[in-house]
Structure 1
Amino acid sequence: MHHENGEPMTLTGFDKCERLIWAGRGAAYAASYAKLCAHPVPLLLDAVEAGPGVRLLDVGTGPGTVAAAACSRGATVTAVDAEPSMIELAEQAAPTAHVRVAALPELPFADDEFDAVVANFVLNHVGRPQVALGELRRVLKPGGRIALTIWAAPPAPGQALLGRAIQAAGAERPPHLPTGLAAEDDFRRDESGLADLLTAAGLREADCETLRWDHRTSVDEWWSGPASGVAFGGQMVQSQTPEVRAEIRRHFELFASEFADDTGGLTLPHAALVARARR
């Protein structure tokens, strides 16, 4: 895929950082945050009417959660992820899907190839969200449906837990981590901001709602993700000195107690934006 001026598309610094952040992290993600991210999947598949005869693309499949659920509904599923350790898991989770390594902003598919496209918590990992949406629109047939999720901002209390601990411990951001998107590529992470982004990418009937839920976990399970370097927060934790890491853990346990019950379980409130549109 090329820009309109004929130059090939290049990854932004943010995109390159994301590739590094997720390298080899498939199993650690599957053991920590994957269950949280599975929550909106039925809603996404309902939104694109996934079922028999529907050619569905699952972009950023991770360990294959969406792909497996779409296969079980009878859809013909193609699933891609930038990270090989995720693809290995997705192949096991969705053995009837066509699974391969590929990533936004350039997908190895023809125009109009799919009836439905789903991207579960993917748009928050790309450097140019509108360009990425344009590519998803390209591979979607006219009239086809797209549904996606991103995390809402400001984050819900359960989602802010790790960040609060990192901040309280005085952790420094290492130079290899992205500072965020370029101003011209960013957008408001609320219902109208996400809907406007879809419209700007040439999609129609864009609609967005906020999904709120309580995620049940434990201190140890929730700490296992960052302790293994999963996602931005995990990279923050892993890049600190042992002393600062211990401080982050201490604050994490302290703040986690706000969400704990008598059995040591945590109930973490989360909020995501769920958007749908048509080509």
Structure 2
Amino acid sequence: MFTQMTFKALEHRGWSERARIYDHYSGRFCRFGIAALIDAARISRGQSTLDVCCGTGEASLAAAARGAIVTGIDFSEEMIAEAKAKGGNVDFQVGDAEALIFDDAAFHRVINNFGTLDLADPDKAIAEAARVLKPGGRYAYTVWRGPDVSPLFRILPEVVSAHGTLDVDLPPAPPLFRFADREEAMGALSAAGFTDITFAGIPATLDFPLAELSDFFHHAFVRSTMVLERQEPAARARIEEALGESFQPFTENGIVHLPLPALVVSATRA
């Protein structure tokens, strides 16, 4: 049963299973945040930079292309293997965002591209980012905005609730959109010793064939896939049919053009 595993263990298993297909699914929309992330962190040539939750390494490689000296860490050995296979001048390592192995004040910059959503203890990870940053160093993360503005994150729970149940045997998880909330983000960052906190929107649109909707949801996400897999077969069939209907207003010529707004949040280590 899922409840016998921790949230962290389930996230680790889910992303490890997706490592080889990550770039085709999740990576297609996580790339939206990379340029904004690197700009917000003010990454430039010669700066030591840590990419936390680096996945298959796209943000790490982009930072290295700016001339930074980059280390990328991820808790999944499979993700790190995929990142290393891309080559590039990045030191990729298996590592835990909530217990970094690096010395205090080791980096000029720390970045996290949509990885905060997958952490069991994001406050601890933010505190660790502050610890390994040099005074005056810059931290930046990207995060999806919530159901108040994002059709994807509004439609999915509504459809599941209407045709199945959200009450499945999953372990407790941190609030998905907590760090897209300005008050929550400022509180957590300030508590970790950050100042000069800034927020900027990232407009993005996710395009995919409507016919591949079920395949996309199964492979692109971990949390939602766990919920869908715990539905009764008949309920899951109804959910998938209703999702297709719900995405029709965003579909043209068989292609879904789904707004997927995000935020980049950045701050300076005091």
The TM-score normalised by the length of structure 1 is 0.85
Count of residues paired in the alignment: 263
Matches of 2:86 and 2:162 in 1, distance apart? 38
SS in 1 for 2:154: helix
The equivalent residue for 2:94 is 101
Of 239, 262, 266, which aligns to 1:272?
A: 262
Say whether residues 1:48 and 2:24 are aligned partners.
no
**How far did 1:145 drift?**
0.7
Say whether residues 1:70 and 2:60 are aligned partners.
no
SS in 2 for 1:80: strand
**How far did 1:234 drift?**
1.2
Say whether residues 1:84 and 2:77 are aligned partners.
yes
Per-residue CA shift, 1:34-70, capped at 9, x if unaligned?
1111112111111222232011110001121101211
**How far did 1:222 drift?**
4.5
Bigger mean CA deviation after superposition, 30-39 or 219-228: 219-228
Say whether residues 1:160 and 2:150 are aligned partners.
no
Asked if structure 1 preserves the Cα contact closer than 8 Å seen for 2:16 and 2:78, the reply is yes
Matches of 1:149 and 1:45 in 2, distance apart? 10
Matches of 2:87 and 2:44 in 1, distance apart? 15
SS in 2 for 1:116: strand
Could you say if the C-alpha distance between residues 200 and 187 of structure 1 is closer, same or farther in structure 2, counting changes exceeding 3 Å?
A: farther
Could you say if the C-alpha distance between residues 179 and 225 of structure 1 is closer, same or farther in structure 2, counting changes exceeding 3 Å?
A: farther
The equivalent residue for 1:226 is 217
Asked if structure 1 preserves the Cα contact closer than 8 Å seen for 2:164 and 2:236, the reply is no
What is the Cα-based RMSD across aligned positions, in Å?
2.3
Matches of 2:107 and 2:142 in 1, distance apart? 19
- Unmatched segments (≥5 aa) in structure 1: 1-11
Q: Which amino acid aligns with 2:90?
A: A
The equivalent residue for 1:216 is 207
**How far did 1:192 drift?**
3.1
Matches of 1:191 and 1:211 in 2, distance apart? 15
Asked if structure 2 preserves the Cα contact closer than 8 Å seen for 1:226 and 1:238, the reply is no
Per-residue CA shift, 1:62-82, capped at 9, x if unaligned?
121101211222211100111
- 1:16-35 matches, cutoff 5 A: 16-35=9-28
Could you say if the C-alpha distance between residues 38 and 69 of structure 1 is closer, same or farther in structure 2, counting changes exceeding 3 Å?
A: same
Asked if structure 2 preserves the Cα contact closer than 8 Å seen for 1:225 and 1:234, the reply is no
Identity %: 29
SS in 1 for 2:102: coil
